[in-house]
Structure 1
Amino acid sequence: MRKPPVLVIAAVQLLLVSLAGAGLHFAGEPVTALSVAMGGALCALPNAYFGLRAFRHSGARAANRVVENFYRGETGKFVLTLAGFAAVFALVRPLNPAALFISYGLCAMLQWSLVARSVR
């Protein structure tokens, strides 16, 4: 069975977010650029952690470990996402919250479409 391309998907997300952030920065919007980059990272990095954790084992003999790693991966992803948002809102000034959330949402939708495309 082929391993899922979780790192490739995270890399594509981070690349596109970096390009968008760089474009905004050069367009004279450094606060928006930083917010966009952080929103994308808050989506891509916890998802990469989940993918690495969840797909560590495979096969029928490892079924219990697979299920356990899915739960641990999802819990870790949730905690990383919450801690990331808390850290951003507590430490980053100035911040564009709209750009942060829009970037996070678009990054999540990109992940869904890339996962759906790789499953086919």
Structure 2
Amino acid sequence: MGLNVMQRLETLRRQAYVIRLTIAQLLVALVGSLLAWAAVDKGSAGSVALGALVAFLPQAFFVYRMAIFQQRASASRNALRLFRAEAGKFGLTVALFAIVLSTVPPSNPTFFFSAYVAVVLTHWLAPWLMPRELRN
């Protein structure tokens, strides 16, 4: 296989991973919100939604800054992108926590933090969601 074909396959694999991870995280957030609403009340469902949003937005920023959907550049450029994207993701996470906890405190902090952790840890399940031909 030529280098361009291999780069294209790697780009497709990354795209499939990110798309499936995003879908899985949104499903975790939706199921968590529905369970909280059914078990407790609307306020708890809102807490789950806020926690999921605080987890999801920094990851979307990371994907955007890393240019996941583009073909790879040089190793040094990718390393610089990685550090900048991770620093931005961390800063955005801290800022979102500060904004949410100071302006719109969740009605149920347990649901808020549980949803945050569940959405962040969803990436562990994403490899199982990949089609066999795109794994490795």
Kindly indicate whether the alpha-carbon contact (under 8 Å) linking 1:46 and 1:78 is maintained by their aligned counterparts in 2.
Answer: yes
Correspondence list, 1:61-72, <5 A: 62-72=74-84
Distance 2:92 2:86 in 1: 10
Where relative contact order (Cα < 8 A, 6+ residues apart) is larger, the structure is 2
For 1:25, the aligned partner's letter is W
Q: Which residue of 2 aligns with 1:86?
A: 98
Gaps of 5+ in 2: 1-6
Distance 2:69 2:75 in 1: 11
- Tell me whether 1:13 sits opposite 2:25 in the alignment: yes
Distance 1:57 1:72 in 2: 17
Distance 1:35 1:10 in 2: 20
Describe the shift of the 1:50–1:58 C-alpha distance in structure 2 as closer, same or farther (beyond 3 A): same
Q: Which residue of 2 aligns with 1:104?
A: 116
**Alignment TM-score, normalising by the size of structure 1:** 0.80
- Shift in Å, 1:93: 4.1
Q: Give the CA RMSD over aligned residues.
A: 2.2
> How many residue pairs get matched?
118
Kindly indicate whether the alpha-carbon contact (under 8 Å) linking 1:10 and 1:45 is maintained by their aligned counterparts in 2.
Answer: no
- Paired-residue identity, %: 30
Q: Which residue of 1 aligns with 2:3?
A: none
Kindly indicate whether the alpha-carbon contact (under 8 Å) linking 2:47 and 2:109 is maintained by their aligned counterparts in 1.
Answer: yes
Distance 1:28 1:38 in 2: 16
Kindly indicate whether the alpha-carbon contact (under 8 Å) linking 1:32 and 1:95 is maintained by their aligned counterparts in 2.
Answer: yes
Give the structure with higher Rg (CA): 2
2:47 to 22, 35, 44: 35
